[in-house]
């Protein structure tokens, strides 16, 4: 007689998304956040004392004397609590579900991890937190093995072909989110063109150029292990993914790698080539908070956002765009202009939430995140303009940033550009 299946409660459903390593990783984040809150509190305390002439020679952010000892004691207690949490988690881990029994839960978990990495990915990596997302090339929901051609062929099955299609997702997203409203541009193009869709997964909280350098190396290994002779590579990048792709091509060409010679098309969907106003607004909030001694400690909250997000202020694609500068300090555009790669057919799709072009739609609103001018590569300074041929640009109206992934109009435009007869 078969035992009855226990009822699924909301709490049980939540646990199905949890991995044993997640609990310890989240505990580490909570400990870090608590320490950060203590630092902010102490900073506000010191600001008030300085205004009252009571600093007593203490530093701008740390209290001295008895007050400083109190803050140090609180930090010590926090560290002890962290050690105790590890012990408790050790007892809880056996109670968690085996994730292999519930593979249907993984897309929801991956979406949360992708968002977390987009906001805090560089901090997660620096802490050695296991929630930091490593870069992977994926096919049919599984990570590709790039060691040998035989292993790669086994991963690809019968889908191996001479045309490789690489799809790079945007900020706070993952490869699983190319499927939206039942549509996936990769699968659609694979059926129409006979290409093999490979999906990039990466930590979007890292600098764009850091991800570009790693992608260039992965592509070099992928092409070397491809089971049949490759004749054509196409890259489609959504949002930040387009910046990562541009960076990878530049790095690979400078290193003399083989795969850029096979790159035929580079397609951008809502890519902020010249940045996004939301990040510039975030930088403005930083400056506003820092302008008052009482609110200055809270400016640290704005500095939590990742290097990947701050790269979107102006659309960084090279190391030189951000190196030797504090990512939160300057609102100016320090980029070294980088044109579109020569010898590659480059296409761009921009979206607008409204029904026609105008000053507000072009420079500010656009698709809700990326202005039209930025997505089209247009810039007031001629040296910074990205020159797309007229028939290589397409604008879709009454469409949002994420709707670019599911738009049938966009899908048909991609097919028009990439079909052999185009």
pLDDT digits (tens, 9 = 90+) for 249-279: 999 999 999 999 999 999 999 999 999 876 5
Residues 93 and 107 in one domain: no
Find the mean pLDDT for residues 158-174: 92
Say how many C-beta atoms besides its own lie within 10 A of residue 212's C-beta. 27
Does pLDDT of 165 surpass 80? yes
Residue 76 within a domain: yes
Domain's final residue, options 80, 100, 120 = 100
Tell me the per-residue pLDDT of 96-122, one tens digit each, with 9 for 90 and over. 444 555 444 467 778 878 888 888 889
Residue 200 parent element (H or E): strand 196-201
Angle (nearest 5°) at CA 404 between 212 and 249: 20
Q: Hey, is 267 helix, strand or coil?
A: strand
pLDDT tens for 343-362 read 999 999 999 998 887 776 66
Report the distance separating Cα 313 and Cα 273, nearest Å.
10
Higher pLDDT, 45 or 201: 201
Range of the domain at 302: 102-422
pLDDT for res 331? 72
Residue 3 domain-assigned (yes or no): no
pLDDT in tens, 24-60: 555 555 555 555 554 545 454 455 445 545 455 455 4
Which parts of 161-204 fold into alpha helices (H)? 185-193
239: left (phi over 0), alpha (psi -120 to 50) or beta: left
CATH number of the domain to which 330 belongs: 3.40.50.1820
Tell me which DSSP letter residue 256 carries.
T
Question: Is residue 195 domain-shared with residue 240, that is, in the same domain?
Answer: yes
Indicate the residue among 100, 119, 137 that finishes a domain.
100
> What CA–CA distance (Å, rounded) separates 273 from 173?
18
Domain end point (choices 38, 72, 100): 100
179/62 same-domain check:
no
Instruction: State the total domains in the chain.
Output: 2
287 and 335 both lie in a single domain: yes
- d(C-alpha 195, C-alpha 192), whole Å: 8
């Amino acid at each position: 007689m078969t035992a009855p299946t226990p009822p699924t409660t909301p709490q049980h459903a939540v646990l199905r998304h949890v991995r044993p390593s997640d609990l310890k990783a989240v505990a580490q984040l909570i400990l870090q956040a608590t320490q950060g809150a203590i630092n902010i509190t102490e900073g506000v305390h010191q600001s008030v004392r300085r205004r009252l002439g009571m600093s007593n020679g203490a530093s701008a952010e740390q209290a001295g004397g008895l007050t400083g000892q109190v803050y140090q004691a609180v930090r010590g207690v926090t560290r002890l609590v962290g050690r105790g949490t590890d012990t408790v988690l050790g007892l809880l881990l056996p109670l968690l579900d085996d994730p292999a029994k519930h593979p249907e839960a993984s897309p929801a978990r991956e979406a949360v991890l992708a968002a977390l990495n987009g906001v805090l990915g560089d901090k997660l990596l620096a802490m050695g937190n296991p929630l930091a997302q490593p870069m992977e090339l994926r096919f049919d929901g599984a990570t590709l093995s790039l060691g040998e051609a035989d292993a790669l062929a086994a991963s690809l099955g019968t889908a191996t072909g001479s045309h490789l299609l690489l799809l790079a997702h945007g900020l706070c997203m993952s490869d699983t989110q190319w499927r939206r409203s039942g549509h996936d541009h990769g699968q659609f193009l694979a059926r129409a063109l006979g290409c093999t869709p490979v999906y990039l997964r990466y930590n979007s909280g890292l600098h764009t150029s850091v991800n570009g350098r790693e992608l260039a190396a992965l592509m070099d290994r992928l092409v070397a292990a491809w089971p049949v002779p490759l004749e054509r590579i196409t890259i489609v990048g959504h949002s930040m993914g387009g910046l990562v792709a541009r960076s990878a091509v530049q790095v690979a060409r400078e290193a003399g790698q083989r795969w850029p010679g096979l790159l035929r098309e580079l397609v951008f969907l809502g890519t902020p080539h010249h940045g996004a106003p939301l990040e510039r607004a975030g930088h403005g909030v930083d400056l506003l908070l820092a302008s008052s001694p009482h609110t200055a400690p809270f400016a640290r909250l704005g500095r939590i956002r990742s290097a990947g997000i701050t790269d979107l202020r102006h659309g960084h694609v090279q190391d030189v765009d951000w190196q030797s500068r504090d990512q939160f300090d300057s609102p100016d555009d320090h980029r070294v202009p980088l044109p579109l790669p020569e010898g590659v057919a480059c296409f761009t799709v921009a979206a607008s939430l409204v029904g026609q072009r105008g000053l507000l739609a072009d420079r500010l609103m656009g698709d809700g995140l990326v202005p039209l001018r930025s997505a089209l590569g247009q810039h007031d300074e001629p040296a910074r303009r990205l020159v797309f041929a007229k028939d290589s640009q397409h604008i879709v109206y009454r469409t949002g940033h994420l709707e670019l992934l599911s738009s049938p109009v966009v899908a048909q435009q991609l097919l028009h550009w990439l079909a052999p007869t185009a």
